[in-house]
Structure 1
Amino acid sequence: MTAPALAEVQAELAALDDPQTRAANERRGDTHGVNLAQLRALAKRVKTNHELALELWATDDTAARLLAILICRPKAFTAAQLDAMMREEPTPKGHDWLVNYVVKKSPHAEALRLAWLDDPDPLVVSAAWALNAERVAKRPESLEPDELPVMLATIEAEMQGAPDKVQWEMNTSLAMIGINHPAYRARAIDIGERLEVLKDYPTPPNCTSPFAPIWIGEMVRRQTAK
């Protein structure tokens, strides 16, 4: 089977674009009108194709970039490419997918995390904190002995006044520390209770609040109930 060309895939994306979906996405800051289930189905048909992914990314179209993320080979990107991509993609969905589906799987993730923590761009900093949360929860062996206390001190000092996206990822890191590292649980809960970040965040029924003390308490309860 011949690999699809860029124009062919763009035509399929255009056919999937729905005005109602676009309007709903635009209210959340996303600039595409493609249902994500349909986008994933298209990616499954196209299969991994890194060269096509690069072409799709270069179009600057949000739906095309989301598809590019799904069909690329994360380990094939250089650190410089990933750094440029992070700065080029401002939409919430594109940013989140790029971090979670590509950067986290890259051999350059740690170098980028360190480089991004002090970046002037809040979206780039938020990516660094997303990588922090990943390490805290899934790769504790990568943490330095004093890293969690330092991270908690930074969160305590900066989270309340941080830009929204950075604040969200700092809060996630705070919750991951409390959930996964019992020695720091009480301090994580105390920081969350004093700062009250996301305390009043609207949470649907049967979902866990992102307010760190509640989030930590619920996840620890589930762990002990197993």
Structure 2
Amino acid sequence: MHDWSVILPPIAISIKVALASSLIVFLAAAAAARWMSRASFPGKTIIETLLLLPLVLPPTVVGFVLLMALGRRSWLGQAYEWLTGQPIIFTWGAAVIAAAVVAFPLAYRTMRAGFDAVDQEVEDAARAQGAGEWQVFRHITAPLAYRSLTGGYILGFARGLGEFGATLMIAGNIPGRTQTIPTAIFVAVEGNETLLAWIWAGAIVLFSFLMLLLAGLLERR
């Protein structure tokens, strides 16, 4: 039996990455979905296509684009390194960014469907009574789109938990720092550590099952 000091770090890192990325995704996707659901402007279809593009691109392509955008030769990467004194790639933060970018389209599409289903006349009636935009969103839009918002968050968490290709490209596979469950499974299989791979695979299946179960319970509620 393998030592817990080997088994637990990838699980802990994966959970932290999924929690951080799903929070970012939830806020960004909710804002984008709300805006795209209500706004009307030229080029809207193109903007929405760009938002959904990571959903159909191979994760390695997404990772390559992020590597070029955030690497030490890019102006973003250089600016971050100048501010913090360290590069952004091959860090825990890079894993969060990769998971967030890949998970965003799933959450956005789910939340957009929820906002589209909210009757705009109800929102307009609240505005006519003097309610501000935040009050309209908090008391009318969000409660009516509750299931879509919750589903978007859960999908974002599950996708971030299982992200592999983009994470490997910009965060690497550094044990104890950036090694998540999927990258750990990849290394274990390559090293013929089948039992270890099964343990990590079982952990990620369990977490994903629990998240889907939670989503089902919230939907029934």
Higher relative contact order (CA 8 A, sep 6+): 2
**Higher helix proportion (structure 1 or 2):** 2
TM-score (norm 1): 0.26
